[in-house]
Amino acid sequence: IKYVYTWGAGKADGDGTMKALLGGKGANLAEMTRIGLPVPSGFTITTEVCTYYYDNGRTYPKVLRSQMEEGIANMEKIMGYKFGDAKGFPLLVAVRSGARDSMPGMMDTVLNLGLNDKTVAALAKATDNERFAWDCYRRFIQMYGDVVLGVQKNPDEDHEPFEHVIESYKHEIYGKDIIDSELTAEDNKELVTRFKDLVKSRTGHGFPEDPWEQLEGAAGAVFGSWMNDRAIVYRRKYGIPTAWGTAVNVQAMVFGNTGANSGSGVAFTRNPANGENELYGEFLVNAQGEDVVAGVRTPDPVAGMEEALPAAFKELMKVRKILEKHFRDVQDVEFTIQDGQLYMLQTRNGKRTAAAGLKFAADMVKERLINWQTAVMRNPADQLDQLLAPVFDVNEAAKATVIAKGLPAGPGAASGRIYLNADRAVIAAEKGERVLLVRVETSPEDLRGMIAAEGILTSRGGVSSHAALVARQMGKVCVCGASGVEVDYEKKTVTAGGETFNEGDFLSIDGTAGTVFGGELATEPSEIITGLIFNKKSSQNTEKYQNFVQLMEWCGKATRMGVRTNADTPDQVKTAVAFGAEGIGLTRTEHMFFEGDRIDAMREMILATEEADRKKALKKLLPHQRKDFFGIFKALEGKPATIRLLDPPLHEFLPNTPESQKDLADKLGVEVEAIAHRVHDLHEFNPMLGHRGCRLAISYPEIAEMQARAIFEAAAQCVKKDIPVQPEVMVPLVGYARELELQVEIIHRVAEEVKAAKGVEFDYLVGTMIEVPRGAITADEIAKHAQFFSFGTNDLTQTALGVSRDDMGSFLSSYQENDIYPKNPFASLDTTGVGQLMEIAVEKGRSVKPDIKLGICGEHGGDPDSVTFCHKLGLAYVSCSPYRVPVARLAAAQAAI
Ligand code: PEP
Ligand code: MG
């Protein structure tokens, strides 16, 4: 088996399509080499080795070493240097991980590998640059010591141990902090000695001098880091399978730290925060790549390179064009300039905010780089709601004091209580607080805290720092490199603009402008919301709004499946329709009874022991219901409305406190004991499995009768006013065909009665929810009585898994940590289990009624992966809450492309 793929001098074993085997980085290095870009030679150890490593008790395939030797030989031939050469210029290599999908900050990198006491001298002699050679050696020992030998910060230490050695040395010799590039050759030599002592004292072994031992150690560390905590957390968050593994890339070093004519940088071919078509990124003169991303020295904007290194800058602008044309997407590149010559070290599709992604896609269609279908695919459905996220109220922001300015690294507005450490941020967020994580800089250790926070503020680091990258990807608001913010971890305070804030105090950050405000600021809706829903002209004139509308139009062209909404009020209907909903997929009529004094009539109805009392209470409810339905029909302007008959888990409606019982008793003119008694009688141990859904109306048919009457009388009103209507009456929680049959009889009878009484005609449908397993597996029997099915996947998940939808919080995280639930099954459909029940129901339903209308109205209707599944299942529509409608439309379109 071929485990090692080489590239260099215009030729490569692999290419850009081989990401599964070579990882993203390796595949693209091969691809860049093939299209003639300046890429230093190297080789990739495939992901199959990673899999082998974990399948075989952390050992390697026998043939690997000889294949690596061939790989090194190939590099030696191309570069003209020898690995471990103690006389001439030694071949040094960079060892980096490269999973299929990039995992920023998760995996480890070692640069300058191949240096030892002999080769460092050879390097110094060959380059006639002692300072440079020893700078490389010092960096190498530090990185190798950290990521391979595990010489890292203990919990009781404030500083990284190597950094600590450097800092004390600087103070000892210079009496102050100087930047690393100011260290002399002698300084670096001394630091190398101290670093080696540190390694010896921490690990009990000397630093490995043999380049091959170093190389194998580094590759092993990359494979080992696939299973470190941070990588596992990251994979879980982004649903990356453990089985994919990572590749290892070994690449000839080029040096950005040889002097003023050299440097390193990272750049996006377009601005990944706002989407502008401009080279965006940062670089440092006389530095290696890690200096730029580590956030230790704040780098300069990449535009500044035009002055510092004009020829290389020109070259980079050319490469930018070539890359976009070749990959047809915005690229995120790493590059190094060695003595004026540009080298490309990496390219990948750039992570972007939703706003930038929207603009990239729209612009690239205009530039004819991609077609509209690709543009639709380029907008991740699960990020779309970032575009709908609020911004600060302009008036408030104008009045508020700006206490610091930083870099706009993740757009949006966030206000929250500040926490200076990830663990405390997580705890506060779990308590329901809105949290801002404030750090000097973030590292992968902070990931959990970043996930929990609304926004992230750092005082150091650039727009490609860890904080910025991760925030953008997660859609978090982020301001980074706000140097005016002083973070004191010990005192747990943040000082900025002369004010000091304690942990738990409010700060607000604007990640679009890069501003930090003291205190809490109110937010306002995004232009897309104000443009679409409030018809605000100034919003509609923005590019963002127009690109969004364009995207939704494209979705409409592509999609097979419709999107409806779950809405209980005319306002909700209007919002959803503005977003493109094609009707209502679920109105929960019980929600309408919480309003005003209706709850009293509702309680009266539930508590009634006699039919006559119940009918009396229902009579009070009828006009309210009719009015509600009329309002909804009107707002829908003829679009279909699925109205579900009452499904109240009783406990949500009963007066449970002595005060509320007394109150109700007074209103009804009965003894409070009678109420208390009845509440006691009605108490259920498992209300979710109790007297709810159609069971209630089976016991008390007058409930179904009243609701059907309200629906049809409202429909009749519409007809009289020339308002088109399409009512669809839906029966909940059906598990037996007979249940549905009984309800359908009532509904049809009432419809005929209303038509006759009002002297009008209208069409309507009657159908059922499929939300208990028995309903799904007897769907053929049920379909005889139903004109449509709507999957109630909330209850179907609850009943199929035997997990209470209200009580899963206590074990959800352990189930996810143990890989039992890949995702929360109430948020994202369990396609293997619950999905099978749906498949059965679809098949059996269609066997009886081939054209039965099928939809879904559980929460899953707004989850992109679940929408994809529904598309495959052939459902006619998904239904979700109003603000999820754009997400569902995008996911439905993507599923169809
Ligand atoms: C469902 O169960 O999926 C559903 C839509 O109904 P509810 O959430 O009201 O139980
Ligand atoms: Mg339900």
Which of 565, 566, 584, 586 is the best mutation target for the ligand 1 pocket, counting ligand atoms within 8 Å of the beta carbon and taking the most? 586
301, β-bridge pairs: 282
Report how far apart, in Å, the C-alpha atoms of 7 and of each of 22, 78, 112, 369, 432 are.
12, 10, 19, 28, 52
Report how far apart, in Å, the C-alpha atoms of 863 and of each of 71, 242, 579, 883 are.
45, 23, 16, 12
Rg (CA), the chain: 32
Amino acid at 117: D
CATH number of 126-208: 1.20.80.30
Using the mean position of ligand 2's atoms as its centre, give its distance from the Cα of residue 795 in Å: 5
Using the mean position of ligand 1's atoms as its centre, give its distance from the Cα of residue 472 in Å: 34
Residue 592: how many CB atoms within 10 A of its CB? Answer: 20
Domain ranges of the chain: 1-116+210-253, 126-208, 255-358, 389-524, 558-585+636-648+704-896
Using the mean position of ligand 1's atoms as its centre, give its distance from the Cα of residue 796 in Å: 8
Provide the whole-model pTM. Answer: 0.82
How far is the C-alpha of 581 from the C-alpha of 574, rounded, in Å?
A: 9
Question: What is the fold, at CATH topology level, of the domain defined by 255-358?
Answer: D-amino Acid Aminotransferase; Chain A, domain 1 (3.30.470)
739-759 per-position pLDDT tens digit: 999 999 999 999 999 999 999
Using 50 as the pLDDT threshold, list the residues of the chain that sit under it: none
Token code pair at residue 255: 């040096």
Using the mean position of ligand 1's atoms as its centre, give its distance from the Cα of residue 586 in Å: 9
Choosing from 50, 136, 466, 480, which is the catalytic residue?
466
Tell me which residue of 688, 789, 683, 687 sits closest to 734, measured CA to CA: 789
In this structure, which ligand is nearest to the CA of 790? 1
State the pLDDT at residue 399.
84
Task: Answer yes or no: 466 catalytic.
Answer: yes
Ligand 1 contacts CB of residue 795 (under 6 A): yes
Task: Answer yes or no: 870 catalytic.
Answer: no
DSSP 445: G
How far is the C-alpha of 883 from the C-alpha of 887, rounded, in Å?
A: 8
State the pLDDT at residue 203.
94
Ligand 1 contacts CB of residue 794 (under 6 A): yes
Which of 566, 647, 731 is the best mutation target for the ligand 1 pocket, counting ligand atoms within 8 Å of the beta carbon and taking the most? 647
Ligand 1 contacts CB of residue 793 (under 6 A): yes
List, in order, residues 6 or more apart from 414 with CB less than 8 Å away: 434, 436, 454, 455, 476, 477, 508, 509, 511
| Ligand 1 atom nearest 795 alpha carbon | 2
State the pLDDT at residue 473.
62
Q: Is 308 exposed, middle or buried (0-12, 13-18, 19+ CB in 10 A)?
A: middle
Ligand 1 contacts CB of residue 792 (under 6 A): yes
| Ligand 1 atom nearest 791 alpha carbon | 3
In this structure, which ligand is nearest to the CA of 646? 1
Domain 389-524: CATH architecture, name and number where available: 3-Layer(bba) Sandwich (3.50)
Using the mean position of ligand 1's atoms as its centre, give its distance from the Cα of residue 393 in Å: 35
In which residue are the tokens 């500083």 written?
159
Q: How far is CA 148 from the centre of its chain?
A: 31
Q: Is 613 exposed, middle or buried (0-12, 13-18, 19+ CB in 10 A)?
A: middle
Report how far apart, in Å, the C-alpha atoms of 742 and of each of 486, 747, 748, 776, 783 are.
70, 9, 10, 19, 14
Q: Atom 8 (ligand 1): residue with closest C-alpha?
A: 794
Q: How far is CA 696 from the centre of its chain?
A: 41
Sheet containing strand 486-488, strands side by side: 486-488, 493-496, 499-502
How far is the C-alpha of 487 from the C-alpha of 323, rounded, in Å?
A: 40
How far is the C-alpha of 204 from the C-alpha of 354, rounded, in Å?
A: 49
Report how far apart, in Å, the C-alpha atoms of 639 and of each of 439, 552, 583, 591, 888 are.
51, 19, 5, 21, 18
| Ligand 1 atom nearest 647 alpha carbon | 9
Ligand 1 contacts CB of residue 858 (under 6 A): yes
Q: Is 461 helix (H, G, I), strand (E, B) or coil?
A: coil
Using the mean position of ligand 1's atoms as its centre, give its distance from the Cα of residue 689 in Å: 13
Q: Are 682 and 650 in contact (CB under 8 A)?
A: yes
Using the mean position of ligand 1's atoms as its centre, give its distance from the Cα of residue 747 in Å: 21
Angle at 279 between CA 273 and CA 284, to 5 degrees: 100
Helix (H) / strand (E) element for 546: namely: helix 543-558
Q: Phi, psi (5° rounding) for residue 270? A: -140, 165
252, β-bridge pairs: 93
Report how far apart, in Å, the C-alpha atoms of 796 and of each of 30, 689, 804, 883 are.
48, 12, 11, 23
Question: What is the fold, at CATH topology level, of the domain defined by 1-116+210-253?
Answer: Dna Ligase; domain 1 (3.30.1490)
Q: Phi, psi (5° rounding) for residue 713? A: -65, -40
List, in order, residues 6 or more apart from 166 with CB less than 8 Å away: 180, 191
Q: Is 747 exposed, middle or buried (0-12, 13-18, 19+ CB in 10 A)?
A: buried
Q: Atom 4 (ligand 1): residue with closest C-alpha?
A: 792
Q: Is 538 exposed, middle or buried (0-12, 13-18, 19+ CB in 10 A)?
A: exposed
State the pLDDT at residue 479.
92
413-447 per-position pLDDT tens digit: 999 999 999 999 999 999 999 999 999 988 767 88
Ligand 1 contacts CB of residue 857 (under 6 A): yes
Which of 564, 584, 588, 731 is the best mutation target for the ligand 1 pocket, counting ligand atoms within 8 Å of the beta carbon and taking the most? 588
Residue 680: how many CB atoms within 10 A of its CB? Answer: 9
Please give the CATH superfamily to which domain 558-585+636-648+704-896 belongs: Phosphoenolpyruvate-binding domains (3.20.20.60)
Q: Phi, psi (5° rounding) for residue 737? A: -55, -35
99, β-bridge pairs: 246
Q: Are 13 and 30 in contact (CB under 8 A)?
A: yes
3-state secondary structure 358-379: HHHHHHHHHCCCCCHHHHHHHC
